[in-house]
Structure 1
Amino acid sequence: MLRLRWLGVLCGFVLASSVQAETAEQIIKQALLSMQPDLPIESISASPMPNLYQVELKGGRLLYASADGEFLLQGNLFQLHNGQATNLTEQVEQKAIATQMNMIPMDEMVVFTGPETKTHVTVFTDTDCGYCQKLHSEVAELNKLGVEVRYLAFPRQGVGSHGYTTLTSIWCADDRLDAMNQAKARRDVPKKTCKNPVDKQYALGQAVGVQGTPTIILANGKMIPGYQPAKQLAAQALKAQP
């Protein structure tokens, strides 16, 4: 009987060792993928809050999980210090979004720049969007204020829509700037097809959380949903530090 007791204790140690061999990151990943096999997990790491892990998804958005993978949180994590609240979730998400925007080759965007560029904004746009047209009418003013405008395609009605066809024609035009100007002035753009990044940019917009147009992203990754007057937008853009 004594030997059997020691054998049971030994088995317990072996089991505990195998559990410890799996890191919290592995446990959390297995738990999440068992729930949703196609969940686009980019990384899992310890969060600033003890015993809480942050799960970064493709597109930069965050989830939080307990070390055993049993509890999952979606929302903002704030740090309170000296009476001030800092949104740690927003900081991480913005940094990830800024990194993704900066990885897009300039020749895959439609870029309006001025004589003296001090910063830039990246704009997910749809040619059929009234507020996108209003924003575009102020691009020249933004350029004069030192803000470069980089357009990405985001056809709100999806692939195959009128906006999708127009955006494809713009990206395939010999002169993209002129084609964009024509489309934003509600003039017809000659239909044209070619190898283009419209689908890829549309998918990227969905991944980073774009829900409407225009969606403006500052150089530091901060997302501004909707139209902003040129002077107001320029003031925010010039303050944004990558």
Structure 2
Amino acid sequence: MRKLRTLATALMFIPLFACAVEGDGNTAAVKKSFEQKFPQREVQSVSASPVKGVYEVVLAGRQIVYTDAKVTHLFVGDLIDVQNKKSLTEERMAALSKVNWADLPLELAIKDVRGDGSRKLAVFSDPDCPFCKRLERDSLPGLNNVTIYTFLLPLTELHPDAMNKSKKIWCSKDRLASWTGVMRDGKALTGDGNCDTAALDRIQALGKKLGVTGTPALVFGNGQLVAGAIPREDIDKLLSSK
């Protein structure tokens, strides 16, 4: 039965991908209806999809769902352009995830300038995240002519002591040395974290605004947001992308 439902859902979309549908003026009504039926979800935008009568709803956290004009049915999953063999949902997610580099509060980050520092990379990282440590140990060493900005984003629901460690790093005399010592060399942190740590609260709000729900999360100079401890070769290519 599940396979039949999946197939039926896919077949609904196949004949209708030939052209894009312009806004039909009904998006405001769809948004209002969606908010009435799902008051606990924050609707960021509603727009007509390429499928006649189906609307794209973007929710907080950059989640995309699809619905009909009366919000009687919801579709969750990828909207596929069969003719061009691509996921329209994936493309839309990539566009929504774009970050305006100029809006990043770089003064809240730990700065690491290498070579001429011409290329830019921001990393949201958690001191207790094993994947963040993998990124620091395996992927970031060897990168040159780059400025790396590390934003401390402790995921306290996963790592209860991460905020305490972040405070100690932020309050240390040499934040970069403290950070790399913990992440690459496994050194113990010293100090009590007793300084102004309002920056960490601001980074938490920034992560939420950007839809960063996991670490590590990498933001490149062109605004591309990539999740995970990706290989150094991939980082190097993305650093040079326009």
2:140 maps to a residue whose letter is V
- Deviates further, 51-60 or 194-203: 194-203
Contact 2:54 2:67 in 1 (8 A): yes
* Stretches of structure 1 lacking an aligned partner (at least 5 in a row): 1-22
Equivalent position SS for 1:99: coil
Q: Could you tell me whether the CA contact under 8 Å between 1:168 and 1:196 is conserved in 2?
A: no
- Look up the match of 1:50: 52
Contact 1:101 1:122 survives alignment (8 Å): no
CA shift at 1:139, angstroms? 2.6
TM-score by length of 2: 0.71
Larger radius of gyration: 1
Segments of 4+ moved more than 6 angstroms: none
8 Å Cα contact 2:66-2:76 kept in structure 1: yes
8 Å Cα contact 2:214/2:227 also seen in 1: no
Partner deviation per Cα, 1:9-51 (whole Å, 9 max, x = no partner): xxxxxxxxxxxxxx53233223322333231221212223332
Question: Helix, strand or coil for the counterpart of 1:213?
Answer: coil
Residues 74-128 of structure 1 show CA distances to partners (whole Å, capped at 9, x for unaligned) of 22222233xx322222222222222366522111222323224454343221112
Of 208, 215, 218 in structure 1, the residue corresponding to residue 217 of structure 2 is 215
Residue identity matched to 2:186 = R
Q: Which aligned pairs between 1:1-242 and structure 2 lie closer than 5 A?
A: 24-81=26-83, 84-99=84-99, 103-117=103-117, 119-137=119-137, 138-142=139-143, 144=144, 146-158=145-157, 161-184=160-183, 185-187=185-187, 188-192=189-193, 193-202=195-204, 205=207, 210=212, 212-218=214-220, 219-225=222-228, 227-239=229-241, 241=242
* Cα pair distance change 1:217/1:37, threshold 3 Å: same
Task: Note closer, same or farther for the CA distance 1:102–1:191 as it changes in structure 2 (3 Å cut).
Answer: farther
TM-score (norm 1): 0.71
Structure 2 residues without counterparts, runs of 5 or longer? 1-24
Deviation of 1:213 (Å): 3.1
- Aligned pair in 2 of structure 1 residues 183, 93: CA closer, same or farther (>3 Å)? same
CA distance in 2, matches of 1:89, 1:68: 21
Q: What CA distance in whole angstroms lies between the structure 2 residues aligned with 1:70 and 1:76?
A: 19
Q: 1:86 to 1:160 in 2, by over 3 A?
A: closer
CA shift, 1:196, in A, is 2.5
Q: Give aligned-pair identity as a percent.
A: 22
Return the letter of the residue paired with 1:129: C
